């Protein structure tokens, strides 16, 4: 029997080597290789002159953010994607990421698929796995992502202006719709349903859009908890209010058969979209060049105004209060 067969589960240091080797197969052409990467007590990174470092961290926990039996490739992909989405919201270009992996000892097959899922996105976005930590315990994955932005150009939540148009990318509510699909996998092969499951399991962060919004958007956030909750963070941080026009929310065949109220609840409070919501002045003009450059549909859904709070208004001008504004880990019964 070979050593590999007799020890199917790697030890801690085998696992680190395995992750480093797998990452190297995807990210060996990254634009900014770490001066010192995996293997020492810490990484050493050179930041480009004239740039600021943008740093974010998010955790995914089994049973909370993904099913315990989820495909390992999807877990690896999404753990990085949700972090790159925060870099996109700041207008940053990803450069390095760190992986803190906690769980029962994985077998080589699980680990290989996990590393390939994360590596696929890392390779396509040019970010390098530069370090991390490995421990045993209940399964959770934390990624810390580091990106760069030209000095002073980071997009913020706090700088919306009265009169700005509110814009959302893509199709809010797709991932939430997929999460609530009774069979947990698409019953139909149609494009809209397939896209909804892709958005839930492998959300592509809107990095090109974030970069295009530098110097254009007044404020920006990525949608993780829900459109209403995350737009609410822009309003709170900017000390302003807004009107959101429900009839402008983009529609998809995946919502067919739902009442308008259920659809709005899903699109406003469902979470897991990883789309961008941003504000732009009228002076920025038509958004079609931006759509073209960023490769994603953009929809104007409302307007920033003085005051406080978010008013969601239907086609007849009647107010609608979503059942919940979005996901809250410490409150029960999220949308």
Ligand X SMILES: Nc1ncnc2c1ncn2[C@@H]1O[C@H](COP(=O)(O)OP(=O)(O)OP(=O)(O)O)[C@@H](O)[C@H]1O
Residues that bind Mg ion (CB under 5 A): 58, 86, 222, 224
Site track 255-294 with ligand X (rule: CB under 6 A), x = hit: ----------------------------------------
How many angstroms separate the most distant Cα atoms in the chain?
A: 74
Closer CB to ligand TPS, 172 or 271, in the complex: 271
- 183 Cβ contact partners less than 8 Å away, ≥ 6 residues apart: none
- Number of residues forming the site for ligand TPS (CB under 6 A): 11
Q: Is 29 annotated as a binding residue?
A: no
**Rounded to 5 degrees, what angle do the CA atoms 243, 245, 246 make?**
130
Euclidean distance between CA atoms 127 and 73, whole angstroms: 17
Question: If we measure between CA atoms, which residue out of 279, 271, 194, 193 comes closest to residue 235?
Answer: 279
DSSP, res 172: T
Positive or negative: CA dihedral 58, 61, 66, 70: positive
CB of 25 to ligand X, least distance (A): 28
CB of 227 to ligand X, least distance (A): 12
Q: For residue 54, count CB atoms less than 10 angstroms from its CB and return exposed for 0-12, middle for 13-18, buried for 19 or more.
A: buried
Q: Is 218 annotated as a binding residue?
A: no
Euclidean distance between CA atoms 141 and 4, whole angstroms: 26
When binding is defined by CB under 6 A, the residue of 35, 36, 44, 64 that contacts ligand TPS is 64
Closer CB to ligand X, 26 or 278, in the complex: 278
Q: Is 272 annotated as a binding residue?
A: yes
Closer CB to Mg ion, 210 or 322, in the complex: 210
Euclidean distance between CA atoms 60 and 82, whole angstroms: 9
Q: Does the footprint of ligand TPS cover residue 300 (CB under 6 A)?
A: no
Q: Does the footprint of ligand TPS cover residue 179 (CB under 6 A)?
A: yes
Site track 213-242 with ligand X (rule: CB under 6 A), x = hit: -----------xx-----------------
When binding is defined by CB under 6 A, the residue of 26, 78, 81, 86 that contacts ligand X is 86
Q: Does the footprint of ligand TPS cover residue 138 (CB under 6 A)?
A: no
Q: Is 65 annotated as a binding residue?
A: yes
> Which of the stretches 57-65, 85-93, 116-124, 182-190 binds ligand TPS when contact is defined by CB under 6 A?
57-65
Q: Does the footprint of ligand TPS cover residue 66 (CB under 6 A)?
A: yes
In terms of residues, how long is the chain? 335
When binding is defined by CB under 6 A, the residue of 173, 271, 302, 322 that contacts ligand TPS is 271
Closer CB to ligand TPS, 132 or 203, in the complex: 203
**Rounded to 5 degrees, what angle do the CA atoms 322, 324, 325 make?**
85
List the single partner that 113 binds among Mg ion, ligand TPS, ligand X, none, CB under 5 to 8 Å by kind: none
- Number of residues forming the site for ligand X (CB under 6 A): 5
**Are 178 and 266 in contact, with CB atoms under 8 Å apart?**
no
Q: Is 18 annotated as a binding residue?
A: no
Q: Does the footprint of ligand TPS cover residue 133 (CB under 6 A)?
A: no
Positive or negative: CA dihedral 63, 67, 68, 70: negative
**Are 128 and 268 in contact, with CB atoms under 8 Å apart?**
no
- CA 228 → CA 70, 217, 259, 296, 327, distances in Å? 28, 19, 19, 21, 10
**Are 202 and 83 in contact, with CB atoms under 8 Å apart?**
no
Q: Does the footprint of ligand TPS cover residue 180 (CB under 6 A)?
A: no
Residue numbers of the site for ligand TPS (CB under 6 A)?
58, 64-67, 179, 224-225, 271-272, 327
Residue numbers of the site for ligand X (CB under 6 A)?
58, 82, 86, 224-225
């Amino acid at each position: 029997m070979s050593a590999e067969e007799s020890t199917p589960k790697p030890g801690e240091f085998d696992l680190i080597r395995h992750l480093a080797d797998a990452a190297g197969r995807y990210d060996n052409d990254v634009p900014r290789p770490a001066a010192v990467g995996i293997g020492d007590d810490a990484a050493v990174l050179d930041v480009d002159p004239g740039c600021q470092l943008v740093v974010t961290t998010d955790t995914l926990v089994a049973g909370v953010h993904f099913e315990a039996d989820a495909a390992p490739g999807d877990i690896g992909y999404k753990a990085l994607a949700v972090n790159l989405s925060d870099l996109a919201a700041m207008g940053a270009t990803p450069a390095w990421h760190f992986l803190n992996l906690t769980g029962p000892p994985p077998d080589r097959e699980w680990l290989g698929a996990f590393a390939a899922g994360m590596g696929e996105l890392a390779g396509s976005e040019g970010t390098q796995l530069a370090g991390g930590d490995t421990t045993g315990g209940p399964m959770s994955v934390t990624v810390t992502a580091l990106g760069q932005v030209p000095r002073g150009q980071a997009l913020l939540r706090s700088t919306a202006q009265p009169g700005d148009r509110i814009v959302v990318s893509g199709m809010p509510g797709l991932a939430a719709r997929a999460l609530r699909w009774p069979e947990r996998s698409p019953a139909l092969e149609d494009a809209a349903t397939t896209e909804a499951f892709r958005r839930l399991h492998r959300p592509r962060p809107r990095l090109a859009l974030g970069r295009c919004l530098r110097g254009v958007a007044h404020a920006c956030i990525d949608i993780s908890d829900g459109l209403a909750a995350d737009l609410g963070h822009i309003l709170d941080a900017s000390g302003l209010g807004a009107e959101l026009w429900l009839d402008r929310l983009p529609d998809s065949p995946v919502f067919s058969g739902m009442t308008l109220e259920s659809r709005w609840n899903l699109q406003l409070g469902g979470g897991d979209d990883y789309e961008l919501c941003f504000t732009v002045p009228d002076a920025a003009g038509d958004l079609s060049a931006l759509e073209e450059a960023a490769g994603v549909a953009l929809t104007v859904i409302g307007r920033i105004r003085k005051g406080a709070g978010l008013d969601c208004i239907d086609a007849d001008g009647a107010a609608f209060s979503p059942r919940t504004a979005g996901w809250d880990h410490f409150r029960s019964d999220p949308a």
